[in-house]
């Protein structure tokens, strides 16, 4: 596509032109739409673990439930690289427009699964598409909003992301209270509440796919691909919406993106390599390893704690009912859980387990309260966008100290509170997302963000399957070593650049 030759006397730097558009209705609606998308994909991702537990007619064994629960995380690991490439080469909006409707359709088809294998395959494919939005939403917002409010908006979006499991718990609890069974002879299944729940969980994804059509492509992405005329039209449209239809004071005729990277024709394999390789060579290599390491610690700590939280609370309930007022989380796990878990696995790993067919009120309330508190704290953090590094270090320090204190606390309730604080690393997720937007050039921002999700979900998969097993066999040692691991991320965060550091240029 041909572009108008630049008249250097009339050229406006892109960031200055974006700042000129101001902050108004367009930005608010864009943030709202992308927040809904984030809420939808997290609600769908974690809600699936609840669905697996209430799908009684599939007669799932413990092993099959474990496999199904892991499928969504495997999907993210497999396709994050590809979505990063598509986002950086085809567009942020393009990625969402393609991925969300497809994910919605595949997710709805899951409700008609005749067995657990079909359910697993369809869910795997569904998450392969929906996970594209996990990082692209942040990138689209970050490149479409003025710098002064960029970090604040992305942290606010994380508030909705943290409410995803809570929203899923509410919907699951209410839906599974229903009682009906509609036979579908052609498929050999009965349409029961858990199948309806799958459809309800996927509706927000479909709505997000519809809403994103009403917004523009990232103007910074367009400018980065030398489509300056299109980028200028987007900026004019944003200005017009934010200023009630007037363009009188915009007065920008040409724009220039200073960190633009020249694009050359090349094969797909070479293009994918060129899109990701700069992240792992100087001058970005150190920054990439540093950020990815912190992301891995943040995800493995929070997500593993969330998965085992209901079981921990069950142990506390049993202890209090038996009038046991002493002993921390690890003491109860060692005393009450290890033998029971081993016996269960030994005798019934391949047999269908007891299935209630509904989400218990206690489980739903636990998830709602915990995620609600995290979301509220994340909102407070979003009001302090100029102190991201300080907050990040503080949260990681708090988590590390709580892990040690939990082992030293002799009383059960305090120990559980410290366990919850240990999992507070989820409050760092929004900060990390904003750092990926701020610290990478436009050409590689989408790839860096998507690969960060790949790293995060891989660490989650490892945490759930490895760390979870260690907790029930070597609890005290596990939490001591885990606390040290979290503290190493504090050291990594200490050497992050100041919040106002400019993007590192690349020589590509």
pTM of this structure: 0.73
Q: Cβ atoms within 10 A of the Cβ of 37, count?
A: 29
CA distance 214 to 33: 10
pLDDT at 436 over 70: yes
Q: Which of the pair, 247 or 172, is modelled with greater confidence?
A: 172
Q: Mean pLDDT throughout 293-311?
A: 81
Residue 502 domain-assigned (yes or no): no
Is the model's pLDDT at 138 over the cut of 60?
Answer: yes
Residues in the chain: 508
Task: Please indicate, yes or no, if residue 305 is contained in any of the structural domains.
Answer: yes
Q: Residue 351: pLDDT above 50?
A: no
User: How far, in Å, CA of 186 to CA of 111, rounded?
Assistant: 14
Q: CA 358, CA 337: separation in Å to the nearest integer?
A: 24
Task: Give CA 65 to chain center in angstroms.
Answer: 22
Report how far apart, in Å, the C-alpha atoms of 405 and of each of 310, 394, 491 are: 21, 16, 20
pLDDT tens-digit profile of 4-63?
555 555 788 888 888 888 888 999 999 999 999 999 988 888 888 788 878 888 887 766
| Segment 432-441 mean pLDDT | 78
Specify if 292 maps to a domain: yes
pLDDT, tens only, 449-459: 777 877 887 88
User: Cα–Cα distance between 378 and 160 in angstroms, integer?
Assistant: 10
Q: Is 434:145 a contact under the CB 8 Å cutoff? A: no
The answer to whether residue 501 sits within a structural domain is: no
Q: How confident is the model at residue 305 (pLDDT cuts 50, 70, 90)?
A: confident
pLDDT at residue 463, rounded to an integer: 77
Q: Give the whole-angstrom CA distance, residue 124 versus residue 145.
A: 33
Which of 21-35, 61-75, 318-332, 494-508 has the highest mean predicted lDDT (pLDDT)? 21-35
Rounded mean pLDDT, 168-197: 89
Confidence tier at 287 by pLDDT (50, 70, 90) = confident
Query: Do 35 and 152 meet the contact criterion of CB atoms below 8 Å apart?
Result: no
Q: CB-based contacts of 411: which residues, under 8 Å, 6+ apart?
A: 325, 326, 327, 328
Contact assessment for residue 434 and residue 155, using Cβ atoms and an 8 Å cutoff:
yes
Q: Is residue 264 domain-resident?
A: yes
CB 94 within 8 A of CB 127: no
- What's residue 324's pLDDT? 58
Q: Is 177 exposed, middle or buried (0-12, 13-18, 19+ CB in 10 A)?
A: exposed
> Sign of torsion, CA 197 202 203 204?
positive
pLDDT bin (cut points 50, 70, 90) of residue 349 is: very low
Residues 6+ apart with CB under 8 A from 232: 17, 219, 252, 253, 254, 255
Structural domain contains residue 6: no
The CATH number of whichever domain residue 305 belongs to comes to 1.20.1250.20
Q: What are the contacts of 352-357 at 24+ separation with CB within 8 A? A: 352/59, 352/60, 352/61, 353/60, 353/61, 353/62, 353/65, 355/53, 355/54, 355/55, 355/56, 355/59, 355/60, 356/54, 356/56, 357/54, 357/56, 357/176, 357/192, 357/193, 357/194
362 to 359, 366, 446: CA distances (angstroms): 9, 6, 39
3 located within any domain: no
Residues 236, 254: Cα–Cα separation, whole Å: 11
Tell me which of 70 and 232 has the higher pLDDT: 232
The CA distance from 263 to 305, in Å, is 44
> Tell me: the pLDDT tens digits for 34-43?
999 999 988 8
| Residue-level pLDDT at 508 | 40
If you average pLDDT over every residue of the chain, what do you get? Answer: 80
| Helices 388-408, 412-422: crossing angle, 10 deg rounding | 150
Q: Contact 493/392 with Cβ under 8 angstroms? A: yes
Dump pLDDT digits (tens) for 151-160.
788 778 877 8
Kindly write down the DSSP assignment for every residue of 23-92, as one continuous string: SSHHHHHHHHHHHHHHHHHHHHHHHHHHHHHH-GGG--BHHHHHHHHHHHHHHHHHHHHHHHHHHHHT-H
Tokens of 355: 């299935």
Q: State the Cα–Cα distance between residues 302 and 399, nearest whole angstrom.
A: 10
The 10s digit of each residue's pLDDT in 95-135 is 999 999 999 999 999 999 998 899 999 999 999 999 888 77
Give how many domains the chain has, as a whole number.
1
User: Which residue segment(s) compose the domain that 457 sits in?
Assistant: 11-494
Per-residue confidence (pLDDT) for residue 93, from 0 to 100? 92
How far apart, in Å, are the Cα atoms of 193 and each of 58, 111, 200, 505? 13, 10, 10, 53
């Amino acid at each position: 596509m041909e572009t108008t030759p630049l008249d250097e006397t009339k050229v406006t730097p892109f960031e200055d032109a974006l700042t000129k558009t101001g902050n108004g209705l367009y930005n608010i609606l864009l943030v709202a739409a992308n927040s809904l998308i984030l809420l939808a994909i997290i609600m769908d991702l974690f809600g699936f673990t609840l669905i697996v537990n209430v799908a009684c007619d599939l007669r799932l064994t413990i092993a099959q439930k474990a496999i199904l629960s892991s499928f969504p995380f495997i999907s993210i690991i497999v396709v994050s690289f590809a979505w990063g490439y598509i986002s950086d080469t085809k567009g942020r909006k393009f990625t969402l427009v393609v991925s969300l409707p497809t994910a919605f359709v595949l997710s709805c088809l899951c409700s008609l699964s005749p067995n657990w294998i079909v359910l697993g395959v369809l869910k795997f494919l569904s998450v392969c598409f929906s996970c594209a939005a996990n990082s692209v939403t942040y990138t689209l917002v970050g490149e479409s909003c003025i710098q002064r409010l960029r970090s604040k908006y992305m942290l606010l979006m994380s508030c909705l992301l943290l409410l995803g499991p809570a929203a899923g718990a509410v919907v699951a609890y209410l839906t599974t209270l229903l009682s009906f069974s509609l036979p579908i002879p052609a498929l050999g299944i009965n349409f029961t509440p858990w199948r309806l729940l799958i459809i309800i969980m996927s509706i927000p994804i479909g709505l997000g796919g519809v809403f994103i059509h009403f917004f523009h492509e990232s103007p910074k992405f367009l400018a980065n691909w030398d489509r300056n005329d299109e980028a200028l039209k987007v900026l004019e449209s944003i200005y017009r919406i934010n200023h009630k239809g007037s363009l009188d004071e915009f007065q920008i005729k040409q724009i220039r993106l200073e960190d633009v990277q020249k694009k050359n024709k090349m094969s797909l394999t070479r293009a994918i390599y060129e899109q990701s390789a700069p992240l792992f060579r100087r001058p970005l290599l150190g920054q990439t390893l540093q950020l990815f390491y912190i992301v891995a610690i943040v995800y493995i700590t929070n997500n593993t704690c969330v998965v085992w939280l209901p079981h921990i609370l069950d142990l506390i309930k049993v202890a209090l009912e038996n009038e046991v007022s002493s002993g921390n989380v690890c003491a109860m796990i060692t005393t009450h859980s290890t033998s029971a878990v081993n016996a269960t696995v030994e005798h019934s790993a391949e047999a269908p387990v007891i299935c209630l067919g509904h989400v218990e009120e206690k489980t739903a309330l636990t998830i709602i309260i915990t995620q609600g508190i995290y979301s509220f704290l994340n909102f407070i953090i979003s009001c302090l966008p100029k102190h991201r590094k300080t907050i990040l270090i503080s949260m990681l320090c708090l988590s590390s100290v709580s892990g040690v204190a939990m082992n030293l606390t002799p009383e059960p309730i305090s120990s559980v509170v410290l366990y919850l604080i240990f999992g507070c690393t989820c409050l760092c997720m929004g900060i990390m997302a904003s750092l990926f937007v701020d610290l990478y050039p436009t050409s590689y921002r989408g790839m860096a963000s998507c690969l960060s999700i790949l790293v995060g979900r891989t660490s989650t998969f490892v945490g759930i399957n490895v760390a979870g097993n260690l907790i029930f066999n070597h609890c005290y040692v596990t939490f001591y070593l885990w606390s040290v691991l979290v503290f190493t991320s504090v050291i990594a965060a200490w050497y992050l650049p100041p919040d106002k550091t400019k993007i590192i240029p690349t020589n590509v």
